[in-house]
Amino acid sequence: MKVHISLSTVADVEDGIRTFYLDTANNGHDYWGSSIYAGHQDAKASGSKGTRLISINLARWLFVNFSSRDFVVVKLDIEDAEYEIVPHLAQMKAGIVTDYLLVEWHHFDLGMAPAEVAIRGECQTM
């Protein structure tokens, strides 16, 4: 079974509305730098003012849609938001319903680079 989230929804640490900044500068890479962070280099290069999208608490969503009996693979390529979401997944014990968590780690250029070491440790506790 595959479960997909709408393209107009962003993963987050809480349910609500989040501003999403579009990358319009990287045509050759399918606009890969869109982000929930206005300070992301590709959002800044694009001059994006952002668009408001529905956000979902990814940990809560996993618990609502899956049980420990399911085989669940989560792949995160979320342009720096992994530094916020992965610790939240660990804190909420989302590893109970997640068999594999695949994360594309980005170079966090918004002032939190030292957090990567702590977050990788958090992932090991999941």
For residue range 22-44, what is the model confidence (pLDDT) as tens digits? 888 888 877 778 888 888 788 88
Task: Measure the CA–CA gap between 29 and 81, rounded to whole angstroms.
Answer: 19
For residue 112, pLDDT over 60 is answered with no
Domain ranges of the chain: 9-125
17 class by beta-carbon count within 10 Å (0-12 exposed, 13-18 middle, 19+ buried): exposed
pLDDT value for 75: 93
Mean pLDDT of 108-124: 56
Per-residue pLDDT tens for 5-21? 677 889 999 999 999 88
Asked if 99 contacts 66 with a C-beta cutoff of 8 angstroms, the reply is no
Does the pTM of the predicted model rise above 0.85? Answer: no
Whether 66 contacts 72, CB under 8 Å: yes
Question: What is residue 35's DSSP assignment?
Answer: B
Residue 36: per-residue pLDDT: 85
